[in-house]
Structure 1
């Protein structure tokens, strides 16, 4: 066996590290979906105000940045903060708030699954 395989075999699986991939993928999907709310704002809500446009741009850039910083120890808090900001979008736009609600539910489900994997992993017998 090579040295890399020995290190990989010695290190137990870590649910916290494994969560980074799905979290980053979800942020990419959000970065694509958030700007798509602009046509809905334009036609359904009677126009795009500077505040709505700014919020959409901040969220989009934040989601892209979140894909990178999810690797940091504080990255998960950053991503959850973006979800809260998106949910608060109800104040300016019902369509953005509704999209925020959907993605918040996705994040709640992902965080629940992560917690459940960590809990079950802690119960594994140590060899």
Structure 2
């Protein structure tokens, strides 16, 4: 088995888990409003706006993940989730959890691509 496409199939295969993770985030982040309301003493316009921007951004990222800028957009949303700590500690905790999930997914993607390259080199096919 060679990797003539330079791992393009593995990169495309990453779209499914990444879109699934973004979908899960797009559902969970708005539910954070309930926690913010009950635990943090109420909702503010800043909290609501931050959650709405993140949720819409995640839906857009799901639809555009096949574009070359899809992964950077998804990662930028994770940074915004972490920065949400300034607005709401609950949002920051969600951001930390999902950043760890994304870090694990990116590591797995990197490892699959590395092993494909290694296999291709050992089988004499070369990297492309």
**TM-score, with length taken from structure 1:** 0.88
Partners of 2:38 and 2:78 in 1: how far apart? 25
1:56 aligns with 2:51: yes
Q: CA RMSD in A?
A: 1.5
Q: What corresponds to 2:14 in structure 1? A: 19
Choose from 14, 20, 26 the match for 1:31. 26
Partners of 2:6 and 2:53 in 1: how far apart? 38
Contiguous gaps of at least 5 residues in structure 1: 1-9
Contiguous gaps of at least 5 residues in structure 2: none
Q: How does 1:1-127 map to 2 (within 5 A)?
A: 14-124=9-119, 125=123, 126=125
How much does 1:69 deviate?
Answer: 1.1
**TM-score, with length taken from structure 2:** 0.88
How much does 1:15 deviate?
Answer: 1.2
Which deviates the most, 82-91 or 10-19? 10-19
